C-alpha cells in the first residue's frame, strides 16, 4: 500500500501557474467569475501564493504553489462532525461530497487554506459542459459542499487499471497528477513516500527539504525544496 | 522567509469569513452521474499549440468526440511533454460560446454589430470581385494585408499572395512585437531574426528587460530551461535580471538590478567598459571573429575610424553609466567581472530593452557583450536557428499589373529615410491611411492580428479604419478589428485545422510541428490557408497560377516533401506517404543536434564577422543619403551627401554623429511631454497569462491573471507605496492614469517592486469586443500610450509615455 506524497522544488518553480490551470481543467473546478473571485471565493485546489517582502531594491519575492498538504495528522479530519473528510488508506485526505453538510469547520481548521466551499452554482456551467473531464471522481461538485485537492485520484485509478492490464505492479512514476505532468520547470514530483527508493522519498531527505508550518504538528505529505 | 499561517490564509480569507448556511437542495447532484472508465471511445491526438509563437507539441485527449484535456507532447523537443498555462487552456478557445460561427457580412454601421449570415460561396465571391476590381484599376498596391501570428507556411503564403496580387503592403506585426532585437542581430550578425540560446549549458544569464519566466518566447522552452539551469544539472547557473520593475522574472532571478527605463544599452556599455578595461574579454574570439573592435582605417578613404574598444573606454565609465541608469557603480563593476568570468555566459534582452525609442542600439550594446566573452555559436552561448529543408517555392507568377504594383512605395514608408531598417511599420499605418501615406488604402485584410487593440495610441486606428472602404477579417473571434470589418471569413480555431509550425528561434536545430484537427470543426468556419488559395484562384490569371495547390494540406505536403527527401531527423521513411503518416502520429519532425562551427550560417555580415561597427547600417544610411541627393538634383537644388545624411540623422532623432552612429552606443531615451505635468513614466508589460494579447477571452486565464498581485478579472496599476502615499492613494483605490493622449480609470495596487517614478500596467484586458469574458473588463493601456518610434527600425517605443495619477 503506497503512501502518496509530493515534492515541490521552489528553486525550479517559475511561478507560471500551469499547475493551477492544469488542475482546474483536469478536476472540473468551476470558474468563479469576477465577483466571487474578488470576494476570495474562487476555488483553487492548487494555488500559487506570492510572498513579496522588503522595499526599495532590497526585495525578496517567493511564489509558493500550494496544493492540499495531505497531512499525516490532518486538522480538517479531526473537526469534521460527520466524517465527510477522511484520510484514505493511501494517505490521501479525501472528501465525501454526499456526507458533507457544508459547515466549513474543516475550511477554518486547515492552516494552509487548501479547502474551498462551493458558494453557488458555477458561472459558465453550460459552456464548461462541452469540455468536462468525464472521469468519475472528477465530476462537478454540488453547491454547499467543500472540495479540495485529491492528488488526482482518478489518475491513480487509471494508472492502476493500466498496470493491471499490463500484468504488473505500480512502479515509481506510473502515477502522474495533472499538476506534475504539466509543470514546465519540472519542479513537482509525485510518488510513494514509504518506498525509500522512490524519487519523492529521496528528495524528501534533501537538506533543502522543508514542510510548511511543521510546528503545528500536521506532518504534511507535501514537501518543499528551498531555493538557492 | 516568514511563512506563517497568515501567508496561506490571506489569499483565501474571504472563504472562511462568516458562517453562511446555504440550501441543501442540490445535494442530490452529488450522486454518481455519468462517471466513466477509460474503456470508452477515447484517443489522444497530437497537434501543436498556438497560444504563443512557441510551437509546443500537444496531445489532446478526445473522449466521445469532445476534447477534454490538453497535455504536452513528450516527442516535441520544445516542450518535451510539459505545457505552460496558456497551453493548458486551449479547450476554452475551441468551445468559446462567442466564436464566430460562419461568414458574416456587415449590414449596419461600422462597429454597430449588425451582421448578416452569408454562405461561403457568396463570401468568397465578394472578396474576389473587390480585389479583381482594384487590380483592374491598377490599384493593386492599395491593398494592405495585415497579419500577426502566421506560423509555418501561412507567413510565406500571405507573402506569396501579396506578390502575386501586386502589393508591397504585406504588413506583419513585428514592429510592435520585438523587431528591435531582430534588427540588432541583423546589424551585428547579418541575421534578421531572433536568435536561439543554449540555455541548458550556460552558467550565467544577464537578462535585460525580457520576462524570462513570464512573457518571453518560446514560453515553455524558457520555463523548462529555468528549471534545468537551477536544479537540472550539477552546477546552478546564476541569473541576473535587469528590469524596470520587480517582475516575476526578477523575483525568480538571483539578483534584480533596478534600472531607469530605456537605459539598458548604457548599462551594457558600462559593463563592456569594465570588461575591456580589465582585459577580461575573449581576445581570441574578438581577434578572429569580430570587426570594428580596435580603431581601424578605411581602406577606401584612408580615414581612421573609431572602434568599439575606444568608444566604450572613452564614453562609458561606470561612474557616468551609473548616473544614466541609476545602477550603483559597484554593481556595474561586479556584474561585469562576474559575467566575464562565469563562462559560458549569455547577455539576452527583449522588449524592455528592444522596444524603446533607442531600442536597436540598446540591443546592439547588449549583444556586443556576447561577442566580448566569445558566447557566439558556442555551447552555452548564442546559437542561430536552422530551418527544415522544405521544398523550395516555385516562382511567383506576376503579370504586368503585379509587377507595377509590387514596385510601388510601401504605404507605411518602411525602408525609406523615415524608417531606414524597417521591413514594416504596423503601428504607422493609421497616419499613412489618414493622409500622410503616398496613396489611399482601399482594401485591408487582417489575419490573426487585432490592430484596433494592439497598437500604441490605439484610438488612431479607430479613425483610420473608417477611411478604408473594404476590411476583411479572418479571425475565429469577434475582436475589435473584426467588429469594424465589412466581411468576416472566420478561420477554424487551431484545434480544428491543418497547419504546420516551424519553431520560434530557440533550439538551433530544425524542428517543425504539425497542427491537425483534434475534433471536426464545430462551426461553419474555414481554414484561412484554404481560403487564400481559393481567393487567388477566383482572381484568376497569373494570381491563380501562383497557387497550383488544391488546398492548404496539398501545399503543406508539397513543402514537406523536401523534408522527407532530406532523409534525416526523427522521421526517415521509404515513401512520402509513410513520412506523412508518421508525422501525423508524432506531431513533430526534428533534426538534432545543433551543429556548432558553421560560421557561414552564424555570421552573415559583409565581413563575415561579428560587426561591432555595422557596415550594413553605414551602407544603408549612405545609400539613402545618395538617393536624397539625386532627388534634390531632380528638383534642381544642390545638396551634398553629407548634408543629406545629416538631414536623415536629424529625422531619425539620433544624437550621435560620425562613426558612433554605426557602433553600439547609448542614445538618450526619449519620452515626450512635460515631466512637471506628467511626473511618472508608464511601463507596460505582459503577464504569463496574457497569451500574447489573446488571452482575455479565456476564463481560466482571467482567474489567475496576475500571480504577483493576486489580481483576477480586472486591470490595475502598480505604484510604489511611497509615491502612492505622497499622492494620497491607498491600495485598491480607483485611480485615473492620465497621459497626453488620454486617461484610464483603473485600480491602484501598492507594489514595493514599482520604482518611485515608474508605474506599471499589464496588457491583456480592456477589450471593447472579443466575447463575453473579455468585453468591457479592465483597461487597455494602448489607449493612453504615446506612439513613439525607434525611427531607425520603425519599431514602437512602448515605454515612452509620461503620466500622472490621481484618485478617481
- pLDDT tens, position by position, B617-633: 999 999 999 999 999 99
CA dist A72 and A77 (Å) reads 10
**Amino acid B36: pLDDT:** 52
Output the nine-digit C-alpha cell for B583: 508525422
Percent with pLDDT over 90 in chain B: 93
Q: Give the integer Cα–Cα distance in Å for B574 and B25.
A: 64
Burial degree of B658 (CB within 10 A; 0-12, 13-18, 19+): exposed
Contact (Cβ atoms closer than 8 angstroms) between residue A96 and residue A85? yes
| pLDDT at residue A121, as a whole number | 85
DSSP state, residue B62: E
Beta-bridge partners for A93:
A87
Residue A212 sits at the chain B interface (C-beta within 8 Å)? yes
Q: What is the pLDDT of residues B354-399, one digit of tens each?
A: 999 999 999 999 999 999 999 999 999 999 999 999 999 999 999 9
Are B201 and B450 within 8 A, CB to CB? no
Tell me whether B756 touches chain A (CB under 8 Å): no
B12: confidence class by pLDDT, cuts 50, 70, 90: very low
B11 and chain A: CB distance < 8 Å anywhere?
A: yes
- What integer pLDDT is reported at residue B18 of this predicted model? 29
pTM over 0.80? The answer is yes
Pairs of residues, one from chain A and one from chain B, whose beta carbons lie less than 8 Å apart: 277
Flag whether pLDDT at B30 surpasses 50: no
Q: Please, which residues bridge with residue A192 across strands?
A: A4
Closest chain A residue by Cα to residue B15:
A41
In sequence order, which ranges of B587-658 are alpha helices (DSSP H)? 599-602, 615-634, 641-651
Spans of all domains in chain A: 4-225
Task: Inform me whether the C-beta atom of residue A153 falls under 8 Å from chain B C-beta atoms.
Answer: no
Cell triple for B503 = 519553431
- Calculate the alpha carbon distances from A102 to A96, A115, A118, B21 in Å: 11, 12, 9, 8
Partner residue opposite A161 with nearest CB, options B2, B37, B700:
B37
**Torsion angle in degrees (nearest 10) through CA of B718, B723, B727, B731:** 40
Measured at the CA of B702, the angle between CA B699 and CA B704, to 5 degrees, comes to 115
- Pick B196-383's CATH classification: 3.40.50.1820, 1.20.1050.10, 3.40.50.720, 3.40.228.10: 3.40.228.10
Contact B95 A131 (CB under 8 A): yes
Q: What is the pLDDT of residues B55-86, one digit of tens each?
A: 999 999 999 999 999 999 999 999 999 999 99
CA B601 to the chain's CA centroid: 24
CB B663 within 8 A of CB B311: yes
Q: Inter-chain contact B14–A53, Cβ cutoff 8 Å? A: no
Q: Over range B22-26, report the average pLDDT.
A: 30
Query: What Rg value do the Cα atoms of chain B yield, rounded?
Result: 27
Q: Is the pLDDT of residue B27 over 70?
A: no
Judged by CB atoms within 8 Å, which residues 598-657 of B form the interface with A?
Answer: none
Instruction: State mean pLDDT over B308-314.
Output: 98
Q: How far apart are CA B178 and CA A45, in angstroms?
A: 37
Quick check: A112 and B8 CB within 8 A?
yes
Cα–Cα distance for residue pair B565/B391, rounded to 1 Å:
9
Measured N-to-C along each axis, helices B152-165 and B528-539 cross at an angle, to the nearest 10 degrees, of: 20
Query: Would you state the pLDDT for residue B10?
Result: 65
**Average pLDDT rounded to a whole number, residues B485-490:** 98
Residue B35: the pLDDT is 47
Nearest CB among B5, B226, B708 relative to A185 is that of B226
* Partner A, chain B 208-237, Cβ-Cβ below 8 Å: 213-214, 219-220, 223-224, 226-228, 230-232, 236
Q: B552-565 vs B528-539: helix axis angle to the nearest 10?
A: 110
Chain B contact for A165, CB < 8 A? no
Place of cell 532530406: B566
For residue A180, what is the nearest residue in chain B, using CA coordinates? B82
User: Which residues of chain B are within 8 Å of residue A101 when distances are taken between CB atoms?
Assistant: 24
Q: What integer pLDDT is reported at residue B6 of this predicted model? A: 82
Query: Best residue in A9, A19, A20, A21 to probe B by mutation, most B CBs within 10 Å?
Result: A21
> In chain A, which residues have their Cβ closer than 8 Å to the Cβ of B248?
14-15, 61, 63
Q: Which pLDDT band, with edges at 50, 70 and 90, does B299 fall under? A: confident
C-alpha separations of A5 from A8, A70, A189, B265 in Å = 10, 8, 8, 48
To probe the interface with A, which of B29, B63, B233, B243 has the most A CB atoms within 10 Å?
B29
Measured CA distances, A52 to B229, B244, B586, B676, B800 (Å): 23, 17, 43, 32, 28
CA distance A74 to chain B (A): 15
8 Å CB contact between B148 and B172: yes
Q: Report the SS3 class of residue B770.
A: coil
Find all residues with CB under 8 Å of B314, minimum gap 6, and list them.
none
Cβ within 8 Å, pair B226-A12: yes
A143 touches chain B (CB under 8 A): yes
Q: How would you classify residue B574: left for phi > 0, otherwise alpha for psi between -120 and 50, otherwise beta?
A: alpha
Residue B531's nearest CA partner among B121, B95, B117 is B121
Q: Pairing relation of β-strands B588-590 and B511-515?
A: antiparallel
Q: Which CATH code for domain B680-807?
A: 2.40.40.20
> What CA–CA distance (Å, rounded) separates B707 from B698?
16
Residues B208/B267, Cβ–Cβ less than 8 Å = yes
Cell of B716: 490595475
Interface probe, candidates B65, B695, B703, B755, chain A, greatest A C-beta count within 10 A = B703
Q: Give me the CATH code for the B124-177+396-497+528-573 domain, please.
A: 3.40.50.740
> Which architecture characterizes domain A4-225 according to CATH?
2-Layer Sandwich (3.30)
Which has the closest alpha carbon to B532: B131, B105, B114, B80? Answer: B131
pLDDT of residue B323 exceeding 90, the answer is yes
Helix axes of B329-341 and B318-325: crossing angle, nearest 10 degrees: 110
* Average pLDDT of span B768-775: 95
Chain A residues close to B51, C-beta within 8 Å: none
CA distance A159 to A171: 10
Q: Return all residues near B525 (Cβ < 8 A) that are at least 6 apart.
A: B99, B100, B101, B102, B476, B490, B491, B492, B493, B496
Element holding B451 (H helix, E strand) = helix B451-454
Cell 483534434 identifies what position? B518
Q: Of the candidates B555, B549, B800, B772, which has an alpha carbon nearest to the alpha carbon of residue B671?
A: B800
Q: Is the pLDDT of residue B25 over 80?
A: no
Closest residue in A to B519 (Cα–Cα): A131
Low-confidence ranges of chain A (pLDDT < 70): none
**Measured between alpha carbons, how far is B654 from B77 in angstroms, rounded to an integer?**
43
Question: Is residue B731 within 8 angstroms of chain A, CB to CB?
Answer: no
The answer for B82, left when phi > 0, alpha when psi is -120 to 50, beta otherwise, is beta
Q: Which chain A residue has its CA at the smallest distance from B713's CA?
A: A34
- Give how far B79 is from chain A: nearest CA, Å: 8
Residues 6+ apart with CB under 8 A from B625: B641, B642, B644, B645, B648
Q: Give B217's contacts in chain A (Cβ within 8 Å).
A: none
Per-residue DSSP letter, B714 = S
Nearest by Cα to B603 from B290, B285, B370: B290
Query: For residue B20, what pLDDT is reported?
Result: 31
Helices (H) and strands (E) in chain A, counts: 8, 10
Report the distance separating Cα B218 and Cα B212, nearest Å: 10
Is some CB atom of chain B closer than 8 A to the CB atom of A213?
A: yes
The length of chain A is 228
DSSP for B248-284, please give it: HHHHHSSEEEE--TT-HHHHHHHHHHHHHHTT-S-HH
Is A33 in the B-facing interface, judged by CB distances under 8 Å? yes
The position carrying cell 503616398 is B438
Q: Give the up-direction half-sphere exposure of residue B287: CA atoms within 13 A in the CB hemisphere.
A: 3
Taking only residues 73 to 102 of chain A, the set having a beta carbon closer than 8 angstroms to any beta carbon of chain B reads 97-98, 101-102
List, as ranges, residues 180-199 from A with C-beta within 8 Å of B. 181-187
Amino acid at each position: 500500500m503506497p503512501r502518496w506524497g509530493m515534492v515541490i522544488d521552489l528553486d525550479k518553480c517559475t511561478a507560471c501557474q500551469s499547475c493551477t490551470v492544469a488542475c482546474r481543467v483536469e478536476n472540473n473546478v468551476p470558474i468563479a467569475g469576477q465577483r466571487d473571485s474578488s470576494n476570495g471565493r474562487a476555488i483553487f485546489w492548487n494555488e500559487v501564493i506570492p510572498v513579496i517582502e522588503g522595499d526599495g531594491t532590497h526585495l525578496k519575492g517567493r511564489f509558493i504553489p500550494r496544493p492540499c498538504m495531505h497531512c499525516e495528522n490532518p486538522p480538517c479530519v479531526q473537526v469534521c462532525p460527520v466524517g465527510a473528510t477522511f484520510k484514505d488508506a493511501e494517505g490521501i485526505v479525501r472528501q465525501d461530497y454526499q456526507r458533507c453538510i457544508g459547515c466549513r469547520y474543516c475550511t477554518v481548521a486547515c492552516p494552509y487554506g487548501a479547502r474551498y466551499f462551493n458558494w453557488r452554482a458555477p458561472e459558465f456551467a453550460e459552456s464548461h459542459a462541452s469540455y468536462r473531464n468525464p472521469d468519475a471522481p472528477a465530476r462537478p461538485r454540488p453547491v454547499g459542499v467543500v472540495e479540495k485537492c485529491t492528488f488526482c485520484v482518478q489518475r491513480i485509478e487509471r494508472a492502476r487499471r493500466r498496470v493491471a492490464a499490463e500484468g504488473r505492479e505500480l512502479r515509481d512514476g506510473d502515477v502522474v497528477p495533472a499538476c506534475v505532468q504539466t509543470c514546465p520547470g519540472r519542479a513537482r514530483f509525485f510518488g510513494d513516500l514509504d518506498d525509500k527508493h522512490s524519487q519523492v522519498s529521496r528528495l524528501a531527505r534533501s537538506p533543502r527539504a522543508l514542510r510548511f508550518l511543521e510546528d503545528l504538528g500536521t506532518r504534511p505529505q507535501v514537501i518543499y525544496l528551498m531555493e538557492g | 522567509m516568514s511563512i506563517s499561517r497568515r501567508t496561506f490564509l490571506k489569499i483565501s480569507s474571504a472563504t472562511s469569513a462568516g458562517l453562511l448556511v446555504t440550501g441543501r437542495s442540490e445535494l442530490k447532484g452529488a450522486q454518481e452521474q455519468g462517471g466513466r472508465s477509460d474503456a470508452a471511445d477515447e484517443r489522444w491526438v497530437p497537434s501543436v499549440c498556438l497560444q504563443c509563437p512557441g510551437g509546443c507539441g500537444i496531445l489532446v485527449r478526445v473522449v466521445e468526440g469532445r476534447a477534454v484535456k490538453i497535455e504536452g507532447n513528450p516527442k516535441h523537443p520544445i516542450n518535451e511533454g510539459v505545457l505552460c498555462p496558456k497551453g493548458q487552456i486551449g479547450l476554452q478557445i475551441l468551445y468559446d460560446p462567442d466564436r464566430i460561427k460562419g461568414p458574416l457580412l456587415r449590414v449596419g454601421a461600422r462597429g454597430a454589430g449588425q451582421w448578416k449570415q452569408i454562405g461561403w460561396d457568396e463570401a468568397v465571391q465578394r472578396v474576389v470581385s473587390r480585389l479583381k476590381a482594384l487590380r483592374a484599376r491598377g490599384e493593386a498596391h492599395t491593398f494592405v494585408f495585415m497579419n500577426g501570428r502566421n506560423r509555418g507556411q501561412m507567413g510565406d503564403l500571405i507573402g506569396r499572395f501579396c506578390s502575386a496580387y501586386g502589393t508591397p503592403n504585406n504588413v506583419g506585426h513585428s514592429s510592435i512585437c520585438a523587431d528591435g532585437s531582430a534588427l540588432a542581430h541583423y546589424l551585428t550578425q547579418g541575421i534578421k531574426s531572433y536568435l536561439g540560446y543554449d540555455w541548458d549549458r550556460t552558467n550565467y544569464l544577464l537578462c535585460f528587460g525580457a520576462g524570462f519566466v513570464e512573457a518571453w518566447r518560446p514560453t515553455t522552452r524558457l520555463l523548462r530551461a529555468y528549471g534545468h539551469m537551477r536544479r537540472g544539472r550539477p552546477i546552478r547557473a546564476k541569473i541576473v535580471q535587469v528590469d524596470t520593475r520587480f517582475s516575476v522574472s526578477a523575483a525568480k532571478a538571483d539578483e534584480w538590478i533596478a534600472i531607469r527605463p530605456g537605459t539598458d544599452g548604457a548599462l551594457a556599455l558600462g559593463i563592456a567598459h569594465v570588461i575591456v578595461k580589465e582585459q577580461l574579454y575573449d581576445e581570441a574570439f574578438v581577434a578572429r571573429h569580430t570587426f570594428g573592435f580596435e580603431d581601424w582605417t578605411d581602406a577606401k578613404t584612408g580615414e581612421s575610424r573609431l572602434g568599439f574598444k575606444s568608444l566604450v573606454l572613452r564614453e562609458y565609465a561606470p561612474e557616468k553609466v551609473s548616473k544614466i541608469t541609476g545602477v550603483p557603480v559597484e554593481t556595474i563593476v561586479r556584474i561585469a567581472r562576474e559575467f566575464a568570468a562565469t563562462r559560458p555566459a549569455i547577455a539576452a534582452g527583449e522588449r524592455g530593452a528592444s522596444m524603446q525609442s533607442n531600442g536597436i542600439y540598446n540591443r546592439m550594446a547588449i549583444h556586443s557583450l556576447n561577442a566580448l566573452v566569445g558566447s557566439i555559436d558556442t555551447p552555452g552561448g548564442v546559437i542561430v536557428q536552422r530551418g527544415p529543408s522544405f521544398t523550395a517555392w516555385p516562382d511567383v507568377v506576376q503579370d504586368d499589373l503585379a509587377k507595377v504594383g509590387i514596385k510601388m512605395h510601401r504605404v507605411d514608408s518602411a525602408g525609406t529615410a523615415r524608417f531606414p531598417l524597417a521591413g514594416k511599420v504596423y503601428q504607422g499605418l493609421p497616419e499613412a491611411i489618414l493622409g500622410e501615406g503616398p496613396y489611399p488604402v482601399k482594401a485591408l485584410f487582417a489575419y490573426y492580428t487585432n490592430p484596433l487593440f494592439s497598437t500604441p495610441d490605439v484610438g488612431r486606428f479607430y479613425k483610420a479604419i473608417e477611411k478604408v472602404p473594404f476590411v476583411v477579417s479572418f479571425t475565429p473571434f469577434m475582436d475589435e478589428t473584426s467588429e469594424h470589418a465589412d466581411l468576416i471569413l472566420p478561420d477554424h480555431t487551431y484545434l480544428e485545422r491543418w497547419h504546420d509550425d516551424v519553431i520560434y528561434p530557440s533550439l538551433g536545430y530544425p524542428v517543425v510541428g504539425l497542427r491537425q484537427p483534434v475534433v471536426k470543426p464545430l462551426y461553419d468556419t474555414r481554414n484561412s490557408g484554404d481560403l487564400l488559395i481559393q481567393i487567388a484562384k477566383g482572381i484568376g490569371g497569373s494570381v491563380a497560377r501562383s497557387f497550383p495547390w488544391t488546398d492548404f494540406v496539398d501545399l503543406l505536403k508539397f513543402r514537406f516533401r523536401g523534408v522527407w527527401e532530406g532523409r534525416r531527423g526523427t522521421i526517415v521513411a521509404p515513401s512520402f506517404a509513410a513520412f506523412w503518416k508518421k508525422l501525423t502520429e508524432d506531431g513533430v519532425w526534428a533534426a538534432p543536434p545543433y551543429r556548432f562551427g558553421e560560421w557561414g550560417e552564424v555570421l552573415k555580415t559583409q565581413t563575415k564577422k561579428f560587426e561591432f561597427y555595422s557596415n550594413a547600417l553605414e551602407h544603408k544610411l549612405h545609400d539613402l543619403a545618395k538617393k536624397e541627393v539625386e532627388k534634390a538634383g531632380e528638383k534642381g537644388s544642390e545638396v551634398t551627401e553629407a548634408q543629406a545624411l545629416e538631414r536623415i540623422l536629424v529625422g531619425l532623432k539620433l544624437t550621435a554623429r560620425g562613426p558612433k552612429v554605426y557602433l553600439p552606443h547609448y542614445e538618450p531615451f526619449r519620452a515626450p511631454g512635460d515631466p512637471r505635468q506628467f511626473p511618472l513614466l508608464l511601463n507596460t508589460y505582459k503577464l504569463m497569462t496574457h497569451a500574447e494579447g489573446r488571452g482575455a477571452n479565456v476564463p481560466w486565464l482571467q482567474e489567475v491573471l496576475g500571480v504577483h498581485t493576486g489580481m483576477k478579472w480586472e486591470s490595475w496599476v502598480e505604484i510604489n507605496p511611497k509615491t502612492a502615499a505622497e499622492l494620497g492613494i491607498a491600495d485598491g483605490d480607483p485611480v485615473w492614469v492620465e497621459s497626453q493622449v488620454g486617461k484610464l480609470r483603473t485600480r491602484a495596487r501598492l507594489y514595493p517592486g514599482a520604482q518611485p517614478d515608474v508605474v506599471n500596467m499589464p496588457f491583456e484586458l480592456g477589450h471593447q469586443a472579443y466575447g463575453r469574458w473579455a468585453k468591457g473588463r479592465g483597461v487597455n493601456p494602448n489607449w493612453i500610450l504615446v506612439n513613439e518610434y525607434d525611427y531607425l527600425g520603425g519599431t514602437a517605443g512602448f515605454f515612452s509615455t509620461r503620466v500622472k495619477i490621481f484618485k478617481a
